[in-house]
Amino acid sequence: GWTDVASEQQGNWLSAKAGLAGFSILLLLAVFVLWACIGKEHRPRGKGGFEPEELGSWTDMHPAIAGRLWRFDRESASDVTAAVLRLVDKGYVSLRRDVTLQGDGAKPAHYALVCAEPLCADRSPDAAEKFVPALSAEETNAPKNAFSALDRATLDLLFARCGDGARTLPFSAIVRAAEEHPHEFLSWLNDWQKVLSEDVQAQELFEKKGWRLQIPIMVLGAVWALAGFACWYFLRDAFYAAIMVPTGALLMLCGAHMPRRSQAGAELNAQCETLRAWLKERAGGASDTPVDDTMPRGASEGDRSENDELRGNLAIYAYVLGVASPEGADALTSALDEGWKVARDALRAHVRSR
């Protein structure tokens, strides 16, 4: 009779729901196991702790690369600032501050970067192609302060592009370049980040398997969640949404965390953490405390020179790791961020006006 048919249909629906719930659990379990094998962070094998003498063994890495490692390969305007700080520390670029008297005291008004004369002898827009060709990090027996491709790209971005080949680059010129050439400005920043990304990939600080699986797993999670909403809407049964939507959300969460640092990257990141704690301790925990004076000066001239270099590295890494900010660093990052926003808004306005 009709009661038997209804009972059979109800049993089929219950079986289908149970099967769906079981499949969702198995799918989630499979992705979780995949994350545990591919996406879970490596455990550092280092002993922990930090001594200043150990800095030279791993700070040969460009500070902008260390910043990417610290932020899990996320792009930031501070990447450019870190690259500039390295050039300043090596003496290739100097930072100039104009001081304007206001009231009873002197307050900083404008900052500018000044390129060393041998580097910026040619004022043409393609001057970066002629920057110190004798210094190249790729050459055999290259000196310690040799230029890398990223250093050349940094000079190209700032002086040859934003500064139109001039030797002096006021920070305001960065924003002005974004206003006058919004599309080109974004392209310049993107090209610079590509050079940095290539260096990060060359260091093999992140595993490629996780990046390959991230998008497919997140798409699977989104489709699964949307299917749950669709079943709820068309079948008028909230059970599907109650099972499929949380499953889809967890799948997307697992996919987002699928990329991970390599074993070498995990080791370096652990050293960054211990270095950051060491710097904060030496700086008294104050984020605006200079780190330059935390290192003792040697008794001899050679010791002082070595410690001066060490202090320079520490100051850069204090900025990269968010402990302290050297003079002008925040202003440069703000100028780059403002330029990016100005260029982006200009392009959006152009698209809307078409």
Q: Name every residue whose Cβ is closer than 8 Å to that of residue 54 and which is 6 or more positions away in sequence.
A: 271
- The answer to whether 239 and 229 have CB atoms below 8 angstroms apart is no
Is residue 330 one of the residues assigned to a domain? yes
Is residue 179 one of the residues assigned to a domain? yes
Is residue 249 one of the residues assigned to a domain? no
Q: Which two tokens stand for residue 200?
A: 């990060």
Number of domains in the chain: 1
Q: In which domain, by residue range, is 128 found?
A: 52-207+260-353
Is residue 178 one of the residues assigned to a domain? yes
What does the pLDDT look like over 293-318, one tens digit per residue? 433 333 333 443 555 566 667 888 88
Could you please report the per-residue DSSP string of 4-34?
A: HHHHHHHHHHHHHHHHHHHHHHHHHHHHHHH
Rounded Cα gap, residues 266 and 262, in angstroms: 6
Give residue 22's pLDDT.
93
In this structure, what is the dihedral angle of CA atoms 308, 310, 316, 319, given to the nearest 10 degrees? -110
- The answer to whether 195 and 206 have CB atoms below 8 angstroms apart is no
pTM of the model as a whole: 0.78
Residues of the chain with pLDDT under 70: 1-6, 8, 46-60, 98-109, 117-146, 284-312
Give residue 10's pLDDT.
73
Give residue 46's pLDDT.
64
Give residue 308's pLDDT.
58
What does the pLDDT look like over 229-252, one tens digit per residue? 999 999 888 899 999 999 999 999
The CA-based diameter of the chain, rounded to the nearest angstrom, is: 104
Could you please report the per-residue DSSP string of 162-182?
A: ITTT-SEEEHHHHHHHHHH-H
Rounded Cα gap, residues 322 and 317, in angstroms: 8
Is residue 19 one of the residues assigned to a domain? no
Residue 130, SS3 per DSSP:
helix
Give residue 29's pLDDT.
95
Is residue 105 one of the residues assigned to a domain? yes
